[in-house]
């Protein structure tokens, strides 16, 4: 269900980020302990989690199938507020290889120590998990084969961190991308 976390675990990538107090998830159950590097905010609201993940990153990658809304729109607003570079990839069209290339080129032009990856929740878009996985798996693998490593991620897809090999970390924030 948590694509970023599941991919990170499968690929041996250290995943982490901010989650609401009590490790609160959309399903009203605590985030499983297997996602061990998640840090709790002092608030139970998702907006604080999203803000802290954006604030503590150097750039944001937004993945959606259509226009941004809800928490994804908030993520974009916060990236602008904190003057963080961002890339919104609208994967409504089926050109997955082109999206992978676009993301890798964008990442290669930045000196991002921490990348926030964000997108809609599974409850908002039932197809986002599979689509995002098709994109993020090759991006994560490519990062392991370069001087950069995707290393730390946050809850639900959203808010992932990308770091140069020397200091890797990824955060994923809300949304089950």
* Residue percentage of the chain with pLDDT more than 90: 28
- Summarised one tens digit per residue, pLDDT across range 75-105 is 999 999 999 999 999 988 767 888 898 999 8
pLDDT above 70 (res 146): no
pLDDT of residue 162: 44
Q: Which residue has the higher pLDDT, 32 or 107?
A: 107
Average pLDDT over residues 51-61: 92
H or E element, residue 15: strand 15-19
With contact defined as beta carbons under 8 Å apart, do 50 and 82 qualify?
no
Say what the pTM is.
0.80
> What domains are defined for the chain?
3-172 (3.40.50.450)
With contact defined as beta carbons under 8 Å apart, do 133 and 7 qualify?
yes
pLDDT of residue 158: 41
pLDDT above 90 (res 5): no
Q: Which long-range contacts (CB under 8 A, 24 or more apart) does 37-45 make?
A: 37/152, 38/154, 38/155, 44/20, 45/20
Question: Which of the residue ranges 7-21, 42-56, 62-76, 145-159 would you say has the lowest mean pLDDT?
Answer: 145-159
């Amino acid at each position: 269900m948590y694509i970023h976390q599941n991919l990170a675990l499968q690929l041996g990538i250290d995943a982490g980020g901010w989650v609401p107090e009590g490790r609160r998830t959309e399903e009203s159950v605590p985030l499983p302990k297997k996602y061990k590097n998640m840090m709790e905010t002092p608030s139970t609201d998702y907006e604080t989690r999203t803000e802290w993940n954006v604030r503590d990153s150097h750039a944001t990658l937004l993945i959606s199938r259509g226009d941004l809304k809800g928490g994804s729109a908030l993520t974009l607003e916060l990236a602008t507020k904190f003057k963080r570079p961002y890339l919104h990839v609208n994967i409504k069209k089926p050109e997955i290889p082109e999206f992978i290339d676009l993301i890798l080129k964008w990442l290669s032009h930045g000196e991002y120590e921490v990348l926030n990856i964000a997108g809609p929740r599974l409850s908002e878009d039932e197809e986002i998990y599979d689509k995002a996985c098709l994109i993020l798996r090759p991006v994560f693998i490519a990062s392991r084969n370069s001087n950069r490593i995707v290393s730390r991620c946050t809850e639900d897809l959203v808010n992932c961190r990308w770091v140069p090999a020397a200091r890797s970390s990824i955060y994923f924030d809300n949304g089950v991308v």
